[in-house]
Structure 1
Amino acid sequence: MSDVDAKQLMERYDGFRGFGLAGSVTYDLAVFLAINLMFITYLVSVKQITGRIYLVVYLVIFTAAIMTGRSAWIGIFLSVFIIFWNFRRHTLLVKVLEGGAYISLFSLVMFILIQNFYPNISNVFIDKIIPYAFEMFINLFDSGELSTSSTDKLSSMYFSVSESTFLLGDGYYKDPNNAAYYYMGTDAGYMRHILYYGLFPSMCLYFFYLSCFYVIYKKIKGLESRFILVSSLSLYYFLVHYKGAFLTGSAMNIKLFFILLIFAMFIPTNQKVNVND
């Protein structure tokens, strides 16, 4: 992101969205933070880290994620699914509910403190952050539709193309008449790849990712738990690609993916990592 774009973003959202040090301060960072939440709930559920300590960590990352981009909500829901799946037994479910109570109490205390000692921050939170981060839920309550302004715009970025374009693409990633815009004005990931090189190369890209996730899955022991974690990660990658060219353009998340893949590939064939130990 250019300095100009970052400045415009800061002015548009009063400095709260993506306010941090990152190569990308919105969409990519939101997904990256949400993936962290998925790993936290997974490690808590397999008892590799202490749940109560990481409740605060989870809440901090959660807050940063929803302030950075609403695509994080998908990863947040998946992180909740991971921990509930692994905590299906009644005794463990009680611990999850207990953790939720701790988070709620901590959030309430922090909100009261901020409201009393930092009223300006409190006003930005109420007037800007909540309407932005929880827009889909506000719309669901008001109109019965789980939607945001960005998802409504995104739906118009998928459209019918000719058979030749669908199969072979048009060879354009950016608008040939104005490189500042994407070809045909679409920012949607699956659509951009179809328009650029058509169906077959697109399928090769998706097959590559699925194959690599399968390698990661096979190298880690713990049948149910590894399946839920890896399948949730792969699902998240493919879902967020619907919004933008995530699988080829999200630098930080592609690096994370290859770190996981290299880690899995360098595990000796006669030795597997048991993530439940």
Structure 2
Amino acid sequence: MFLYVYQLQLVFLPITVNKLFGIFGMFLYAYHSVRGRPKFAVLSNVSRLMKPYLWVLFFSIVSIFLNGSYEMPYIRLGFSFFLAIFGTYPIALLFSRIYGRMCFFTVVKYFVAVAVVQMLISFAMFANSSFHDLFTSLIRYDEIAEFGIEQSEGFRLIGFGTGFFSSGIIHGFILIVMSFYYRYRIKSIGENILFFTTFFCVLLGGTFMARTTLVGACIAFFFIFSAGIHSVHRFFKLVLSVFASCVICLSVLFFVSNYNSVDLEVLSSFGFEMFKNYSESGSFESSSTNTLIDMYSTIPDNMKTWLIGDAKWMDSSGIFYYKHTDVGYLRNIFYFGVLGLMSFIYFQYLFLKTIFYKCNFTNCRKYSITLFLFFIILNLKGDIDLTLLSTIFIYSEVYPKLNLKEV
């Protein structure tokens, strides 16, 4: 599950682990199809999920053809997405073999477990150079990642196979699906304290890697507290649990800081830079937000680019993004125009809607829109795709089927 969530590119493998899962899943599904009826209808999922992607593919091909470009990020995305559907098939079979069925909330538990493991590894890498060298030697990094690691060492956590904006996407996503779990499953005070202790562990570690984790945390908190405001007893239990969990997490962090070489002040200065600047100067900003604002000054200067883009994803060096902008919306417009951008947004929305419909969620629209909001906000910062993280849920279901009005 760790390999699936963080999509590791190990040095001794020619492709990512997820793509290997996809190839293996295709052969396994073909074998099960020959021997009998497969347990999961993979091909129907491929058909249902790939249809909205065809518009993304269409506008991508139009831009490539009219601009004479050879950059094909969204064609590669379609290939990765196709493999992801098959790659999660053996995982779904394993869950069904162990638990009898693939429950949505069981999958969420595994997401949380691998996130906690990632936090432990990341802190160990930050505190001990030997651990850092060992784990980084196992991963194949591209030039952009290598440059980022060199610039960031010593003041932020670098995860095992993840870091920077991608880390914020993953851990923000995990915090949001944790809030779904909370609405359905968390009842007692003990469960509340354990839940929020784990929640803050992922939140703090994720923020020390990428501050965009805070976006997912804010959405998750809103979703959680909206469930507690209807009952005074539940709201009091919620506040008490959050307070107790904060005390536990801070105590553990200070203990680790005192007995190991983890400099919490350095990490917190990075993770909560905006809040620190606000308390000191009244300015709610950080170095990255200032850089991001400057990037918004780079916009297309002709109608052709606005409509169909330039079919460019990277600049001529192949190291930096085209037009030197990280902004997700602008990168997509520069690649295949507003038409392509709208098709990609539509694809993400339909995908998330399909996932929660297939999971048999009561009022599935509420859950799909919550994750879609996460997608919309993070695109203000960088390019984001939630399909590869979410695909595994296409095989899961909420069991037993519950009504949120009872919660």
TM-score band, normalised by shorter chain: 0.7 to 0.9
Q: Which residue of 1 aligns with 2:341?
A: 202
One-letter amino acid of the structure 2 residue matched with residue 182 of structure 1:
Y
- Compute the TM-score of the two structures, normalised by the length of structure 2: 0.57
Q: Which residue of 1 aligns with 2:379?
A: 241
Q: Shift in Å at residue 56 of structure 1?
A: 2.3
- Compute the TM-score of the two structures, normalised by the length of structure 1: 0.81
Unaligned runs of 5+ residues in structure 2 are 1-139
Alpha-carbon distance in structure 2 between the residues aligned to 1:38 and 1:102 = 21
Alpha-carbon distance in structure 2 between the residues aligned to 1:66 and 1:208 = 28
Shifted more, 149-158 versus 138-147: the winner is 138-147
Q: Shift in Å at residue 4 of structure 1?
A: 6.5
Q: Which residue of 2 aligns with 1:172?
A: 312
One-letter amino acid of the structure 1 residue matched with residue 277 of structure 2:
N
Q: Which residue of 1 aligns with 2:87?
A: none
Q: Shift in Å at residue 3 of structure 1?
A: 6.7
Alpha-carbon distance in structure 1 between the residues aligned to 2:330 and 2:379 = 10
For residues 138-184 of structure 1, the C-alpha deviation after alignment (integer angstroms, 9 at most, x for no partner) is: 12223333221111111222233222211121222222x32222222
Contact 1:9 1:17 in 2 (8 A): no
- Larger-Rg structure: 2
Q: Secondary structure at the match of 1:152?
A: helix
Q: Which residue of 2 aligns with 1:148?
A: 286
Shifted more, 42-51 versus 204-213: the winner is 42-51
1:222 maps to 2:362: yes
Q: Which residue of 1 aligns with 2:195?
A: 54
Superposed CA RMSD: 2.7
Contact 1:9 1:15 in 2 (8 A): no
Q: Secondary structure at the match of 2:158?
A: coil
Q: Which residue of 1 aligns with 2:277?
A: 139
Q: Which residue of 1 aligns with 2:167?
A: 29
Alpha-carbon distance in structure 1 between the residues aligned to 2:251 and 2:278 = 27
Residue in structure 2 matching 1:67, options 202, 208, 211: 208
Q: Which residue of 2 aligns with 1:160?
A: 299
Q: Which residue of 2 aligns with 1:113?
A: 255
Q: Shift in Å at residue 40 of structure 1?
A: 2.0
One-letter amino acid of the structure 1 residue matched with residue 269 of structure 2:
P
One-letter amino acid of the structure 1 residue matched with residue 196 of structure 2:
L
Identity of aligned residues (%): 21
Q: Secondary structure at the match of 1:178?
A: coil
Q: Shift in Å at residue 111 of structure 1?
A: 4.1
Residue in structure 1 matching 2:178, options 21, 36, 40: 40
One-letter amino acid of the structure 2 residue matched with residue 65 of structure 1:
G
- How many residues are paired up? 258
Q: Which residue of 2 aligns with 1:83?
A: 224
Contact 1:82 1:228 in 2 (8 A): no
Q: Shift in Å at residue 110 of structure 1?
A: 2.2
Alpha-carbon distance in structure 1 between the residues aligned to 2:153 and 2:324 = 27
1:92 maps to 2:231: no
Q: Secondary structure at the match of 2:318?
A: strand
Alpha-carbon distance in structure 2 between the residues aligned to 1:243 and 1:27 = 9
Decide whether aligned partners of structure 1 residues 62 and 236 sit closer, same or farther in structure 2, where only a CA change above 3 A counts.
Answer: same
For residues 85-126 of structure 1, the C-alpha deviation after alignment (integer angstroms, 9 at most, x for no partner) is: 1111211111110111112221342244235433x32xx211
Q: Shift in Å at residue 275 of structure 1?
A: 7.3
Unaligned runs of 5+ residues in structure 1 are 248-252
Higher relative contact order at CA 8 Å, sep ≥6: structure 1 or structure 2? 2
Decide whether aligned partners of structure 1 residues 163 and 83 sit closer, same or farther in structure 2, where only a CA change above 3 A counts.
Answer: same
Alpha-carbon distance in structure 1 between the residues aligned to 2:389 and 2:403 = 18
Q: Which residue of 1 aligns with 2:388?
A: 255
Alpha-carbon distance in structure 2 between the residues aligned to 1:167 and 1:9 = 32
Alpha-carbon distance in structure 2 between the residues aligned to 1:179 and 1:5 = 9
Q: Which residue of 2 aligns with 1:191?
A: 330
Alpha-carbon distance in structure 1 between the residues aligned to 2:283 and 2:269 = 15
